[in-house]
Amino acid sequence: MGSHAHYREAHPLVFVITHWINLICMVMLAFSGFYIHFPFFSAGFMGVARGMHFVAMYVILINLVFRIVAAFFVKTANQLETREVDTDIKNWLPQAENKHQLVETLKYYLFFRKEGVISGKYGSLQKIAYLATVPLTFIQAYTGFAIYAPFADASFLAAGTTLVGGPMNMRIIHYFGMWVFILFTMVHAYLANIYNFAPSKIIFLWKETLPEGKH
Protein backbone atom coordinates (compact mmCIF):
# COMPACT_ATOMS: atom_id res chain seq x y z
CA MET A 1 0.00 0.00 0.00
CA GLY A 2 1.26 3.40 0.94
CA SER A 3 3.25 4.85 -1.83
CA HIS A 4 2.39 1.86 -3.88
CA ALA A 5 1.22 2.19 -7.40
CA HIS A 6 -2.47 2.82 -8.24
CA TYR A 7 -3.13 2.12 -11.87
CA ARG A 8 -6.22 2.93 -13.90
CA GLU A 9 -6.69 -0.76 -14.50
CA ALA A 10 -7.74 -1.09 -10.86
CA HIS A 11 -10.71 1.23 -11.45
CA PRO A 12 -11.64 1.61 -15.12
CA LEU A 13 -13.43 4.86 -15.97
CA VAL A 14 -16.88 3.24 -15.99
CA PHE A 15 -16.47 2.31 -12.32
CA VAL A 16 -15.12 5.70 -11.43
CA ILE A 17 -18.40 7.01 -12.79
CA THR A 18 -20.56 4.48 -10.95
CA HIS A 19 -18.67 5.31 -7.77
CA TRP A 20 -19.37 9.00 -8.28
CA ILE A 21 -23.04 8.23 -8.84
CA ASN A 22 -23.13 6.18 -5.67
CA LEU A 23 -21.50 8.94 -3.66
CA ILE A 24 -23.82 11.66 -4.92
CA CYS A 25 -26.91 9.53 -4.46
CA MET A 26 -25.87 8.50 -0.97
CA VAL A 27 -25.36 12.09 0.12
CA MET A 28 -28.68 13.08 -1.38
CA LEU A 29 -30.44 10.12 0.20
CA ALA A 30 -29.00 10.71 3.66
CA PHE A 31 -29.65 14.44 3.55
CA SER A 32 -33.19 14.18 2.20
CA GLY A 33 -33.81 11.18 4.44
CA PHE A 34 -32.87 13.12 7.54
CA TYR A 35 -35.03 15.98 6.36
CA ILE A 36 -38.02 13.71 5.81
CA HIS A 37 -37.39 12.08 9.18
CA PHE A 38 -37.40 15.47 10.83
CA PRO A 39 -37.62 18.66 8.77
CA PHE A 40 -34.81 20.66 10.39
CA PHE A 41 -35.54 23.81 8.43
CA SER A 42 -38.76 25.20 6.97
CA ALA A 43 -38.32 26.45 3.46
CA GLY A 44 -40.83 24.63 1.33
CA PHE A 45 -38.31 21.82 1.03
CA MET A 46 -40.39 18.76 1.90
CA GLY A 47 -41.69 18.20 -1.61
CA VAL A 48 -38.17 18.63 -2.98
CA ALA A 49 -36.69 16.37 -0.33
CA ARG A 50 -39.15 13.62 -1.08
CA GLY A 51 -38.61 13.99 -4.82
CA MET A 52 -34.86 13.93 -4.28
CA HIS A 53 -35.15 10.86 -2.06
CA PHE A 54 -37.15 8.91 -4.62
CA VAL A 55 -35.07 9.93 -7.64
CA ALA A 56 -31.77 9.23 -5.89
CA MET A 57 -33.01 5.82 -4.84
CA TYR A 58 -34.12 4.89 -8.35
CA VAL A 59 -30.78 6.08 -9.72
CA ILE A 60 -28.76 4.19 -7.14
CA LEU A 61 -30.77 1.04 -7.82
CA ILE A 62 -30.26 1.26 -11.57
CA ASN A 63 -26.62 2.05 -10.97
CA LEU A 64 -26.28 -0.96 -8.70
CA VAL A 65 -27.86 -3.31 -11.20
CA PHE A 66 -25.64 -1.90 -13.94
CA ARG A 67 -22.60 -2.25 -11.69
CA ILE A 68 -23.38 -5.90 -10.96
CA VAL A 69 -23.93 -6.74 -14.62
CA ALA A 70 -20.79 -4.84 -15.63
CA ALA A 71 -18.77 -6.84 -13.10
CA PHE A 72 -19.29 -9.85 -15.34
CA PHE A 73 -18.05 -8.12 -18.49
CA VAL A 74 -15.53 -5.45 -17.58
CA LYS A 75 -12.01 -6.50 -16.77
CA THR A 76 -10.15 -4.92 -13.86
CA ALA A 77 -6.74 -5.33 -12.26
CA ASN A 78 -6.71 -8.60 -10.37
CA GLN A 79 -4.23 -7.51 -7.72
CA LEU A 80 -2.86 -4.37 -6.18
CA GLU A 81 -0.07 -2.69 -8.09
CA THR A 82 -0.59 -4.47 -11.33
CA ARG A 83 -1.94 -3.76 -14.79
CA GLU A 84 -2.79 -7.39 -15.20
CA VAL A 85 -6.57 -7.73 -15.55
CA ASP A 86 -9.25 -10.31 -15.02
CA THR A 87 -13.05 -10.29 -15.07
CA ASP A 88 -14.10 -7.83 -12.39
CA ILE A 89 -16.38 -10.18 -10.48
CA LYS A 90 -13.53 -12.57 -9.83
CA ASN A 91 -11.63 -9.82 -8.11
CA TRP A 92 -14.64 -9.14 -5.85
CA LEU A 93 -15.17 -12.65 -4.70
CA PRO A 94 -12.56 -14.22 -2.41
CA GLN A 95 -9.29 -14.78 -4.19
CA ALA A 96 -6.60 -17.29 -3.31
CA GLU A 97 -4.66 -14.53 -1.57
CA ASN A 98 -7.61 -13.87 0.77
CA LYS A 99 -7.68 -17.37 2.10
CA HIS A 100 -6.95 -17.72 5.84
CA GLN A 101 -6.46 -13.97 6.13
CA LEU A 102 -9.70 -12.73 7.78
CA VAL A 103 -8.53 -13.15 11.35
CA GLU A 104 -5.06 -11.85 10.50
CA THR A 105 -6.60 -8.73 8.96
CA LEU A 106 -8.62 -8.14 12.10
CA LYS A 107 -5.49 -8.59 14.22
CA TYR A 108 -3.68 -6.10 12.04
CA TYR A 109 -6.33 -3.43 12.44
CA LEU A 110 -6.51 -4.04 16.17
CA PHE A 111 -2.73 -3.63 16.44
CA PHE A 112 -2.12 -7.24 17.45
CA ARG A 113 0.42 -7.60 14.66
CA LYS A 114 2.82 -5.26 13.01
CA GLU A 115 3.14 -6.40 9.42
CA GLY A 116 0.47 -5.77 6.84
CA VAL A 117 -1.33 -8.85 5.61
CA ILE A 118 -1.20 -10.32 2.14
CA SER A 119 -4.44 -9.71 0.29
CA GLY A 120 -6.02 -10.13 -3.10
CA LYS A 121 -7.25 -7.10 -4.92
CA TYR A 122 -9.06 -6.21 -1.71
CA GLY A 123 -8.58 -7.43 1.84
CA SER A 124 -10.97 -9.95 3.38
CA LEU A 125 -12.78 -7.42 5.55
CA GLN A 126 -12.91 -4.99 2.70
CA LYS A 127 -14.58 -7.50 0.41
CA ILE A 128 -17.14 -8.42 3.02
CA ALA A 129 -17.98 -4.77 3.62
CA TYR A 130 -18.21 -3.88 -0.07
CA LEU A 131 -20.30 -6.91 -0.94
CA ALA A 132 -22.60 -6.25 2.04
CA THR A 133 -23.61 -2.91 0.54
CA VAL A 134 -25.43 -4.79 -2.22
CA PRO A 135 -28.04 -6.54 -0.04
CA LEU A 136 -28.12 -3.47 2.23
CA THR A 137 -29.09 -1.27 -0.69
CA PHE A 138 -31.83 -3.71 -1.61
CA ILE A 139 -33.04 -3.78 2.00
CA GLN A 140 -33.20 0.02 2.01
CA ALA A 141 -35.12 -0.06 -1.26
CA TYR A 142 -37.49 -2.69 0.09
CA THR A 143 -38.13 -0.99 3.42
CA GLY A 144 -38.42 2.34 1.67
CA PHE A 145 -41.05 1.11 -0.75
CA ALA A 146 -42.86 -0.64 2.10
CA ILE A 147 -43.43 2.68 3.86
CA TYR A 148 -44.18 4.57 0.63
CA ALA A 149 -47.98 4.73 0.43
CA PRO A 150 -48.43 4.05 -3.33
CA PHE A 151 -46.58 0.74 -2.98
CA ALA A 152 -47.22 -0.22 0.64
CA ASP A 153 -50.23 -2.37 -0.19
CA ALA A 154 -48.40 -4.60 -2.69
CA SER A 155 -48.48 -8.05 -1.13
CA PHE A 156 -44.71 -8.52 -1.52
CA LEU A 157 -44.19 -5.43 0.64
CA ALA A 158 -47.20 -5.77 2.92
CA ALA A 159 -46.04 -9.23 3.96
CA GLY A 160 -42.74 -7.76 5.11
CA THR A 161 -44.50 -5.02 7.02
CA THR A 162 -46.53 -7.65 8.80
CA LEU A 163 -43.42 -9.68 9.52
CA VAL A 164 -41.65 -6.83 11.28
CA GLY A 165 -44.76 -5.81 13.23
CA GLY A 166 -46.20 -2.88 11.34
CA PRO A 167 -45.30 0.26 9.42
CA MET A 168 -43.70 1.95 12.42
CA ASN A 169 -41.18 -0.85 12.82
CA MET A 170 -40.53 -0.82 9.08
CA ARG A 171 -39.77 2.88 9.37
CA ILE A 172 -37.35 2.25 12.22
CA ILE A 173 -35.57 -0.46 10.20
CA HIS A 174 -35.30 1.91 7.25
CA TYR A 175 -33.93 4.55 9.60
CA PHE A 176 -31.33 2.19 11.05
CA GLY A 177 -30.44 1.05 7.53
CA MET A 178 -29.37 4.59 6.83
CA TRP A 179 -27.19 4.60 9.92
CA VAL A 180 -25.52 1.42 8.70
CA PHE A 181 -24.68 3.21 5.46
CA ILE A 182 -23.38 6.19 7.37
CA LEU A 183 -21.14 3.92 9.44
CA PHE A 184 -19.97 2.12 6.30
CA THR A 185 -19.15 5.40 4.61
CA MET A 186 -17.24 6.67 7.63
CA VAL A 187 -15.12 3.54 7.91
CA HIS A 188 -14.69 3.28 4.14
CA ALA A 189 -13.53 6.85 3.74
CA TYR A 190 -11.25 6.53 6.75
CA LEU A 191 -9.53 3.31 5.73
CA ALA A 192 -9.23 4.34 2.10
CA ASN A 193 -7.42 7.51 3.00
CA ILE A 194 -5.57 6.70 6.22
CA TYR A 195 -2.25 5.99 4.48
CA ASN A 196 -2.41 8.65 1.79
CA PHE A 197 -4.79 10.06 -0.79
CA ALA A 198 -3.67 8.01 -3.74
CA PRO A 199 -6.81 5.81 -3.59
CA SER A 200 -8.99 8.91 -3.70
CA LYS A 201 -7.06 10.31 -6.60
CA ILE A 202 -7.68 7.26 -8.70
CA ILE A 203 -11.32 6.68 -7.75
CA PHE A 204 -12.44 10.31 -8.01
CA LEU A 205 -10.02 11.90 -10.45
CA TRP A 206 -8.84 8.81 -12.33
CA LYS A 207 -5.27 9.99 -11.74
CA GLU A 208 -2.65 7.27 -11.46
CA THR A 209 -0.04 7.12 -8.75
CA LEU A 210 3.03 5.39 -10.12
CA PRO A 211 5.47 3.35 -8.04
CA GLU A 212 8.29 5.37 -6.49
CA GLY A 213 11.06 6.28 -8.89
CA LYS A 214 8.92 5.58 -11.93
CA HIS A 215 7.70 9.08 -12.71
Partner 1 sequence: MAHEGHNALHDLLAVRGVTRRDFLKYCGSIAAALGLSETMAPQIAAALEGAPKLLPTLWLNGGSCSGCTESIAQVDSPDVATIVLDYLSTNYFETIMAAAGEQAEKQLSDTIAAGGYLVIYEGSVMTGQDGNTLLVAGKKGTEILSEAAAGAAAVIAVGSCAVDGGWVYGYPNPAEATGVQAWLNHEGITTPVVNLPSCPVNPEWIVAMVVQLLLVAGGDVATFVEKTEWLTRSYTDRKYGAVDLLMPKGIFGQSIHDNCPRRGHFENGEFVTEFGSKEEAMGYCLYKMGCKGPQTFTNCPIVRWNRRTSWCVEAGSPCIGCGGLNWVDNNAPFFHRLSDMQMGDALGNVQPGTVGAVVGGVAAAALVAHGLGMKAAGRVGDGPPMEEMKAYDRKRLAKKGGDK
* Interface residue list for partner 1 (CB under 8 A): 1-4, 37-39, 41-47, 49-50, 99-101, 104, 108-109, 111, 113-118, 147, 149, 152-153, 162, 165-169, 171-172, 175-176, 179, 182-183, 186-187, 190, 194-196
| Shortest spacing between CB 19 and partner 1, in angstroms | 21
| Shortest spacing between CB 108 and partner 1, in angstroms | 8
Distances (CA, A) of 35 to 31, 39, 43, 55, 203: 6, 4, 11, 15, 29
Give the distance, in angstroms, between the CA of residue 131 and the centroid of all CA atoms in the same chain: 8
Among residues 126 and 196, whose Cβ is nearest to partner 1? 196
3-state secondary structure of 82: coil
- How many CB atoms lie under 10 A from the CB of residue 6? 24
> Rounded to whole angstroms, how far apart are CA atoms 139 and 152?
15
β-strands 75-77, 85-87 pairing: antiparallel
Is the torsion defined by CA of 37, 41, 47, 50 positive or negative? negative
| Shortest spacing between CB 205 and partner 1, in angstroms | 20
| Shortest spacing between CB 114 and partner 1, in angstroms | 7
Among residues 44 and 213, whose Cβ is nearest to partner 1? 44
> Rounded to whole angstroms, how far apart are CA atoms 215 and 213?
6
Among residues 84 and 153, whose Cβ is nearest to partner 1? 153
| Shortest spacing between CB 44 and partner 1, in angstroms | 5
Among residues 65 and 172, whose Cβ is nearest to partner 1? 172
Among the listed residues 30, 64, 39, 41, the one whose alpha carbon sits nearest the alpha carbon of residue 135: 64
Among residues 56 and 146, whose Cβ is nearest to partner 1? 146
